[in-house]
Every structure is written in C-alpha cells, then in structure tokens.
Amino acid sequence: MNINEYVNLIETELLPNIDLSVFRPFDPIIVENRSHSWRTIGCGNYAGVFFHSSYPDLVVKVYGRNHEELEKEIGVYKKIGSHKSFSRLYAFGENYLILKKLEGITLFNALIKGVQIPKVVIEDIDHGLEYARSVGLNPFDVHGKNVVMFEGRGYIVDVSDFYKQGYCQKWDDLKKAYHKIYRPFLFKYHPPIPFTFVDGIRKGYRMFRKVKRKLEK
C-alpha cells in the first residue's frame, strides 16, 4: 500500500473532477463525479465516498461542506484505533479522509433486496458500539444506512457523529423493530421491499423524532 501515490490520485484525478452540493435537509448530498477512474460508492449529509480500483482496500471520504465535522471525525477515528467492527483511518487531507474499505450491504439495502439479516449481525454491531463507549465515544446516529453486513457479520461504517453528546435512540429503535417486526414476520421468507416504502419509513421516522424533540423542549 502506497499512501503517497493514493494521495496523489486524490489530489490530481478526484478532487478536481467532483462537485458536492446539498439538495434538501435530511437527504444525502448530491455528487457530480466527472472522473473516469474514481467511482462514487456512497454519500451522506456532509460527504461523498469514492473508490479507485487500483486500491481495493481503501476509500476516500470527501467533505463538501462543514470541515469542522471532518476534524471531529478524525478525532473519533484516532480514539477507535484498530477494531474489527469499524473502518480505520490511514491518512487525511484538507477536506478528505483515507479509510479502510469495509465490504458489505447496508441493512437499509438488505431490506430492499430481500437479503436476510441474521441476529449475529445485530449482536456484532452492539459489541462494536460497546467498544466505542469504552474508549470515551458516544455512538450517535447509528441506523440502517451506516451499518453493513458481510459474510454474515455486522460492521459500522460511519462514526462521524460519535463525538456528540446526549442519547441517540436510533439504533435502539431499529433493534426493537428488528426483534418485534422483522424477525417474526419478515426474516424467514424475506421479500424484497420497494425502495420508496423503506425510504418513506426512514424520512417519516426522522420527521417524527424531530417533532417529538421540539415538543419535549
């Protein structure tokens, strides 16, 4: 692995050929990728994730806005170090992180494609979150789009909000839905579920939590 060569590819072939913009709150940023050698493999509220086939074990996460969040994520990865449940930070630049690539399908996409989610995946993610707490982090904003399963095991791919304070119940709510709805009714004969339905639940849940927080103030 030659990080310096990888950095050069980022600086010369990726960054000049991408644009990251915001369409609406709560939705991922919009990525315009004009590069012929880099593939967009994901995007969140602040950043896009890109892959180069010459470096199959690495990805680069590029922030399009709010570079303060990038600095905080660097701090989170430094606390995590090397742990099987998480990616690993190898290097960083002014607006990007170089990370270990985690294979797998998100739990969100597993629902859409009808891929069974075994109980051990949920348990693996719980163990990873326990480790994060043990090193002084606060697992925050853990949900079906930032955890993956690969070869029947669970992994956490986004730790960008683990520096935040307070209690986030997204993962606890997802687990409740898994045990009360998914396991008894969907797991055995898992049908594909339309994207619009699953994404509608995601957006509805976020809006419900937002309204509830306002009412509780």
Helix (H, G, I), strand (E, B) or coil at 163: coil
Closest CA relative to residue 156, chosen from 133, 177, 179: 133
Output the domain CATH number for residue 61.
3.30.200
Count of structural domains within the chain: 2
Residues 160 and 122 in one domain: yes
**Predicted model pTM:** 0.88
Residues 156-167: tens digit of each pLDDT: 999 999 999 999
CB distance 29 to 47 below 8 Å: yes
* pLDDT at position 44: 82
Radius of gyration of the chain, Cα coordinates, nearest whole angstrom? 18
Which CA distances in Å does 180 have to 11, 41, 173, 184, 196?
48, 32, 10, 7, 22
Residues 149 and 173 in one domain: yes
Residues 112 and 193 in one domain: yes
Helix (H, G, I), strand (E, B) or coil at 48: strand
> What CA–CA distance (Å, rounded) separates 41 from 49?
6
Residues 164 and 146 in one domain: yes
Residues 71 and 117 in one domain: no
> What CA–CA distance (Å, rounded) separates 48 from 28?
9
> What CA–CA distance (Å, rounded) separates 187 from 63?
36
Residues 21 and 96 in one domain: yes
* pLDDT at position 25: 60
Residues 70 and 117 in one domain: no
Of 48, 65, 100, the one marking the end of a domain is: 100
Of 100, 132, 163, the one marking the end of a domain is: 100
Of 42, 73, 100, the one marking the end of a domain is: 100
* pLDDT at position 145: 92
CB distance 152 to 116 below 8 Å: no
Residues 47 and 75 in one domain: yes
Residues 194 and 177 in one domain: yes
Please classify residue 132 by burial: count the beta carbons closer than 10 Å to its beta carbon, then call 0-12 exposed, 13-18 middle and 19+ buried.
buried
CB distance 157 to 147 below 8 Å: yes
> What CA–CA distance (Å, rounded) separates 26 from 31?
15
Residues 146 and 205 in one domain: yes
Domain that holds residue 160: 105-216
Residues 79 and 112 in one domain: no
Question: Which residues, given as ranges, of the chain have pLDDT below 70?
Answer: 1, 23-27, 66, 217
* pLDDT at position 91: 97
Residues 83 and 159 in one domain: no
